[in-house]
Amino acid sequence: AEKVLRFPGEVGVTMWEMGKEDPRRVIHSIKVGLALTLASLLCLLESLSQGIGQNAIWAVMTVVVVLEFTAGATLCKGLNRGVGTLLAGLFALFVEYLTADRPMPRAVVMGWTVFVIGAAATYMRFIPIIKKNYDYGVMIFILTFSLILVSNYRIDNTTKMARDRFYTIAIGCGICLFLSLLVFPTWSGDDLHKSTIAKLEGLAQSVEACVGEYFGDDQMKEIQDELSKDSIDQNCIKVLDSKYTDETMALYASWEPRYRGNCYKSPWQQYVKFGVALRRFGYTIMALHGCLHTEIKTPPSVRALFKDQCTNLAGEVSNVLVELANSMRNRRHFSLEILSAHLHIALQDLNTSLQSQPQILSDSMNRKDSRISHTTSFDANSSPLLESKTARPPEQVHGIQKVLRPQRSKLVIASLEFSEALPISAFASLLVEAVARLDHVIEEAEELGRIAQFKEYKAGEDVV
């Protein structure tokens, strides 16, 4: 009984938090309610004066279907709907005109026309460019065309009906556009801009946390490990999975009429390109994360040799990302010199320390070399568990099923005692690779700043 009582409370809390998280949701809901009421009342007025009649319901329908969360989406749907209806009306008139004097029964003509046009238009919806931009418009075209033909069969006054329907849909679209463009508008472009900044900051955190964890104290961190590694991954995965939302937002943003000054070209496609560069950068960071969970353990003493340089380089990479995020937030260019200088010094430091410690790498290899005789008794079909008790990861022990599957590659990798130098050099190499990818990110950010005509960079004028 308590659970039943608590349920509405929980739903209420969820609803409240959803609104607090993004108050525009509340505004959007109120706007939809308002638009519906306006359209309904308009219908009532019109139907009382017998002006538009039964077609009045189309205004309500238009409002429900067209009014979307962002201005761009509303415009896109509204224009698609308007143009689709108009074309369908004209086409229906044309078909009427063609078939007016034929001796065939009208039902046959109608049936065939609907069949052919419906099939052809549906087929056209598979063309990628139409699917992307005009899918909704083609659907409305099919819908309106069939409805007009069917209704005509009885009404025999095509022009009036098409005109009335067009008026009501225009009224509906008008209400939607007014509310979505002029009353507390929500712009897709802004969302895209903000999500790009959030991605940059998420990646910056991710890089630092990853390197921090790699060089952190093994014993102490063991406990927090499970907790933090998921959150590190999440930031990164959010970036990697952002393709679809990015492209949708950019598509809607490209419908939004917001050309400031002489911005001759819409920057939204550049945001998508920037997103691609970020994802490519993110793949390297994901691989870096992979090093955290690798089965080949590098002893802390070897790690400690490169700790400062790697942490330093990661810090610089993260700084570059944060600086890019700040420049975007303030819609200004950034200074390539300042960005690169520290980064390149850090790169050089890492290189110097890698080159000054070759004996560590070769030592650890030679040590392995002497041990190899102990592990050559390994056979792929025997159980590596028995041979590598020390290296056995703890999670493999739980559950009998796990023990009964000794062929897991993880165990084999752990038992093979790969060179200890392998993971640390992979880690360093991936960090260097990440810096190279960062180049591409910076290039696209510069291009974005150019196209979107950001302000010139002046030191110390940021309001963060």
Q: How far is the CB of 391 from a second copy (least distance, A)?
A: 13
Q: With contacts defined by CB under 8 A, name the span among 167-175, 194-202, 206-214, 427-435 that binds a second copy.
A: 427-435
What residues between 375 and 414 interact with a second copy by CB under 8 A? 376, 378, 380-381, 405, 407-410, 412-413
**Which residue, 63 or 209, is less far from a second copy as judged by CB?**
63
148: how many CB neighbours lie within 10 A of its CB?
A: 23
Residue 332's SS3 state is strand
What residues between 121 and 140 interact with a second copy by CB under 8 A? 122-123, 126-127, 139
Tokens 């897991």, residue? 408
Among 102, 258, 356, 455, binds a second copy (CB under 8 A): 356
Cα–chain center distance at 363: 46
Spatial CA neighbour of 207 closest among 302, 300, 311: 311
What residues between 172 and 201 interact with a second copy by CB under 8 A? none
**Which residue, 79 or 412, is less far from a second copy as judged by CB?**
412
Nearest-angstrom CA–CA distance, 165 and 150: 14
Q: How far is the CB of 97 from a second copy (least distance, A)?
A: 20
Q: How far is the CB of 91 from a second copy (least distance, A)?
A: 14
Q: How far is the CB of 254 from a second copy (least distance, A)?
A: 19
CB 421 within 8 A of CB 361: yes
What residues between 11 and 50 interact with a second copy by CB under 8 A? 14-15, 18-19, 25-26, 28-30, 32-37, 39-41, 43-44, 47
Q: With contacts defined by CB under 8 A, name the span among 10-18, 96-104, 209-217, 303-311 that binds a second copy.
A: 10-18
Q: How far is the CB of 43 from a second copy (least distance, A)?
A: 5
Site size for a second copy, by CB under 8 A? Answer: 122
CB 275 within 8 A of CB 245: no
Nearest-angstrom CA–CA distance, 315 and 79: 48
**Which residue, 21 or 217, is less far from a second copy as judged by CB?**
21
Q: How far is the CB of 463 from a second copy (least distance, A)?
A: 27
Nearest-angstrom CA–CA distance, 52 and 170: 13
Nearest-angstrom CA–CA distance, 42 and 61: 13
3-state helix/strand/coil string of 345-408? HHHHHHHHHHHHCHHHHHHHHHHHHHHHHHHCCCCCCCCHHHHCCCCCCHHHCCCHHHHCCCCC
Cα–chain center distance at 172: 31
**Which residue, 99 or 329, is less far from a second copy as judged by CB?**
99
**Which residue, 266 or 415, is less far from a second copy as judged by CB?**
415
**Does residue 313 touch a second copy according to CB under 8 A?**
no
**Does residue 249 touch a second copy according to CB under 8 A?**
no
CB 275 within 8 A of CB 202: no
Tokens 């225009």, residue? 170
* Residue type at 429 in one-letter notation: S
Nearest-angstrom CA–CA distance, 419 and 417: 6
3-state helix/strand/coil string of 110-136? HHHHHHHHHHHHHHHCCCHHHHHHCHH
**Does residue 83 touch a second copy according to CB under 8 A?**
no
**Does residue 300 touch a second copy according to CB under 8 A?**
no
**Which residue, 65 or 83, is less far from a second copy as judged by CB?**
65
The CB-based long-range contact list for 424-429 (8 Å cut-off, 24+ gap) reads 424/298, 424/302, 424/303, 424/306, 425/354, 425/361, 426/291, 427/214, 427/288, 427/291, 427/310, 428/306, 428/310, 428/350, 428/354
Q: How far is the CB of 217 from a second copy (least distance, A)?
A: 23
What residues between 261 and 290 interact with a second copy by CB under 8 A? 279-280, 283-284, 286-287, 290
Burial code (b: 16+ CB inside 10 Å, e: under 16) for 434-458 equals bbebbeebbebbbebbebbebeebe
Among 311, 432, 453, 457, binds a second copy (CB under 8 A): 432
**Does residue 90 touch a second copy according to CB under 8 A?**
no
Q: With contacts defined by CB under 8 A, name the span among 94-102, 184-192, 201-209, 332-340 that binds a second copy.
A: 332-340
Among 177, 239, 428, 452, binds a second copy (CB under 8 A): 428
Question: Please, what is the Cα angle at 213 between 208 and 215, to 5 degrees?
Answer: 100
**Which residue, 301 or 348, is less far from a second copy as judged by CB?**
348
* Residue type at 316 in one-letter notation: E
Q: With contacts defined by CB under 8 A, name the span among 164-172, 253-261, 348-356, 452-460 that binds a second copy.
A: 348-356
**Which residue, 266 or 441, is less far from a second copy as judged by CB?**
441
Among 49, 262, 355, 377, binds a second copy (CB under 8 A): 355
Among 374, 429, 458, 462, binds a second copy (CB under 8 A): 429
**Which residue, 123 or 264, is less far from a second copy as judged by CB?**
123
**Does residue 343 touch a second copy according to CB under 8 A?**
yes
